[in-house]
Amino acid sequence: MNIVFLRHNEIDKQKWDEVIASSQNTLPYAYSWYLDCVCPEWNALVGDDYQYVFPLTANTKFGIKYLYQPYFAQQLGLFSKHKISTEEVISFLKAIPEFYKLIEINLNFANTVSDSGFQVSKRRNFELQLDKPYTEIKKFYSDNHKRNIAKAEKSGLFVTDKISIRQVIDFFKHDRGAGLDTMKEKHYKLLEKLSDVLEQRQMCFVKGVTDGKQLYCGAMFIKTSNRIIFIFSGNSAEGKSKGAMSFLIDSVIETFSNKPMIFDFEGSNHPGLARFYSSFGSIELVYLHLKKNTLSYPLRLLKK
């Protein structure tokens, strides 16, 4: 296979997006316009004249060029309309230019590796097939989710689209976000920008749960032709006590049930979140995180 490295301004984005749209493993994160938003300086590896594409989400810090996994782009790696082999993934990994001295990236669910020269670890995602009647899907909810949904209904809660992404962010910042050093204001601003980009393409919606007087939780979802992605959410103490988030997710599942779609929980290695997602009857899927550090000593010690 002929693999070429292309800098950002050399990429034919129309061809690129055609590959992503027709890929067996298509994901919204890999479209050129999505990458432009979350990683404006991305470069690429392209195989056999856009039969295969591999985004290189690049940045430079203190003169060091590196690859990283952008926020709000869970899985990237190799995409193609052809079935992707382990050997092809490894060929692309070997083609990554050596001037990237530090690499920490995620492949997608269809990419596998063997002896690649990278440190490889597994990440967990959870997906729920929606191609069944809602009553059939709900049978596999945990008893706890069923109780929470009943509790929310009894409290007179209902789902509303009269909520902004900023309100969801505020819920998150006062809940899980309060203890996260990794989420900074620039990341929240990026999410707002991404929301605007997706809304322009009618690929995003934001929902909340209210009793008509106050909001209790909210979430942002990405919508593609075959996938609903639960990309970001925020809850409140009152929302937790009323079962609001279970109620919200259940409402979206019901809306898109009986369609050839997947509800993508965007998974988590956090045991509590993994348990929450899996208890909707979803299945666990693994994608791979790759790491390689070729920084010179002593810089290598700063990033183990």
Query: What ranges do the domains of the chain cover?
Result: 3-124+287-302, 131-260
Distance CA 55, CA 40 (A): 12
Q: What is the pLDDT along the chain (304 residues), one digit of tens a residue?
A: 899 999 999 999 999 999 999 999 999 999 999 999 999 999 999 999 999 999 999 999 988 999 999 999 999 999 999 999 999 999 999 999 999 999 999 999 999 998 778 999 999 999 999 999 999 999 999 999 999 999 999 999 999 999 999 999 999 998 876 667 778 999 999 999 999 999 999 999 999 999 999 999 999 999 999 999 999 999 999 999 999 999 999 999 999 999 999 999 997 778 888 899 999 999 999 999 999 999 776 555 555 4
The pTM (predicted TM-score) of the whole model is 0.94
Report domain 3-124+287-302's class.
alpha beta
Give all strands (DSSP E) within 173-266, no chain letters: 204-210, 215-223, 227-235, 262-264
- Please report the pLDDT score of residue 304 as a whole number: 46
> What CATH superfamily classification does 131-260 receive?
Gcn5-related N-acetyltransferase (GNAT) (3.40.630.30)
User: Per the structure block, which two tokens stand in for 294?
Assistant: 């070729």
Is residue 39 within 8 A of residue 49, CB to CB? The reply is: no
Distance CA 246, CA 131 (A): 20
Is residue 54 within 8 A of residue 77, CB to CB? The reply is: yes
CA 94 remoteness from chain centre: 25
Give all strands (DSSP E) within the chain, no chain letters: 3-6, 43-47, 52-56, 58-61, 64-67, 79-80, 102-106, 119-129, 158-160, 204-210, 215-223, 227-235, 262-264, 283-293
What is the DSSP code (8-state) at residue 82? S
The structure tokens 């479209």 sit at: 31
Are both 3-124+287-302 and 131-260 of the same fold? yes
CA 227 remoteness from chain centre: 11
